[in-house]
Structure 1
C-alpha cells in the first residue's frame, strides 16, 4: 500500500533514534489514516513527535461533522505523549474559502473554522494564504504545473489552484511577490483587495482576524488546558469549553441565528448584531 504500510514504523523508530541525539529537534509525519488506533501507532513514544492530522480538513462545514473530527482527533492521541494537531488547509487541498461554498459565504465559513481550530488544544498548522482569505484559482490549461495534470493525460487538473503565489502589495499582479511580471503560476487580476498591504489597514479583514486570534491564543490564559468539555447546542451548532483556562468556542453552521453562549465576547469571526446575544449563521465566537 502507498499509505500505512507496516514497515514504515521501523523506519520511524530508526529516524527517531537519530533525532533524539540532537536537542530541540522533532519529527512530524503526514499520517493519511482515518482509523484512530492506526493513527496512534505513528505517535508512540519511540516514533514521531507529532502527527499531521487531516480530520478537520476533511470535515464538511457541518457541526456534527466538525465535532466528530475533533472527537476522533483527541481520541487518537489520548494514550500518546503527542498532542492532537489541527489544520483546515494545506498545499494538496482545495482552499477553505472555495471548499466551503466560495465567495462571501465561503469566506465567512473559512473565517469561522479558523477560530474553531485556533480554539483547540495542541499545535495548529496554517497554510500560507488562508490568513488572507484566498480562494482557489481557476487556472487556464496552459498554466498548469502540477505533474498530476500530465500524468493523468490532462484529465485531472491537480493542485495548482491552491498554490498560486501570495499577493503582498500594489494594485496589479504580481503584487510584490516578484520583480518579474510573470510568476510560475499566474495571479488573478482582482486580488488588489486581498494583498497583505491592503488587509493590514482594515481591522475587519481576514488577516486582522488571524493576527488578533493568534495574539489571544498566545497571551490569554483562557487558552490553557488540554481537555475539552462539550456543551449542549442547538441543531447545526456546537460549543465547547477548554478545561483549565475556560475559553468557550461556539460555532453556528445552521441557516438561522441562535442564542449566543453566556460570557464576554473575546473575538468573533464575523459581525455580531448590536443586541450582543445572537450568533449569526456561518459564524464562530470566543467567549470567557
Structure 2
C-alpha cells in the first residue's frame, strides 16, 4: 500500500510517498480502508522534528474516515462498517495518511450519515480535543468561557460544544470571523486583549499561554490543548492541558451531534494522497479555514 511518511525532518518537501506492507489487525484491532484523512498541525510537528526521533521513519495522520475491511479477535466491528477513528500517536511507523490503517477497536465510531468521508475525516482529533478540554474545565451552565483561536478547528468545536452546554462563550478571533463564530454559538467576539479576570475559564486553542491566563478570574480554570504546555498557576487558577485520547464512545457522541446539525465540519481543500507535500505546503502558507484532507 501507499503511505505518506518522513524519514528526515524539514519542510513539506521531506514528505515521501512509500510502498509498505498492508498492516494486519491483531486481537482488539480493526483495519480500516482509508477513504479520507485530515492533515493537522501535529503532522507538521512530526515532519519538522518537534517530537524528536531523528533517523527513523514516521507515518503521518491521526484522523481517518473509511470502511472496516478486516478485524482481529474480539472486535465488535464488522467488515463493511463505515467508520471514523483517531489513530493516536506522535511517533509511529505508519499513520492514517495511507491506504490502510490499523487502530484499536475502542477508538472507532460509526461515521456520520449526513456528510461524506472527506468532511467526516475532519472530526476525530479536533472535536475530541475540544470536548476533552471542556471536560477538564468542569464548567457549569452559569459560568463564562473564553475560547482563543475560536475560528480554528479545535476552537470552533469548543465554541459549539460549550454553547450547547449553556455556557456563555466569548470568542477571541479576527473581526472578519465574527459572523462565523457567532453562528457557532459565541455570545460575543473580542479581537484583542480581554479584561483581566473577566471570565471563569479559558480554553486556549491558540496557545497564548500566560496572556490568556491573565483573563481568568481568581480561582478559575485554564485548559491548554498541547500536553504539558501550559503556564504556571497564579491566583488560584487551576491550569492544565489535555493529551487527546482515542475514545470511540465519545467520538460516537460527537458523530451524533454532526448528524443532528449541531457540529459544523469544515473542509478547506482535498488533495490526493500523492500530493501530500503540496498539502503540507498549503498549510504552511497559513490562512487555511477548515482542514486540508488527503484522499488515497
Shorter chain as denominator, the TM-score bin is under 0.3
**TM-score when scaled to structure 2?**
0.24
**TM-score when scaled to structure 1?**
0.24
Greater Rg by CA? 1
**Higher RCO by CA contacts (8 Å cutoff, separation 6 or greater):** 2
Indicate the structure with greater helix content.
1
Indicate the structure with greater strand content.
2
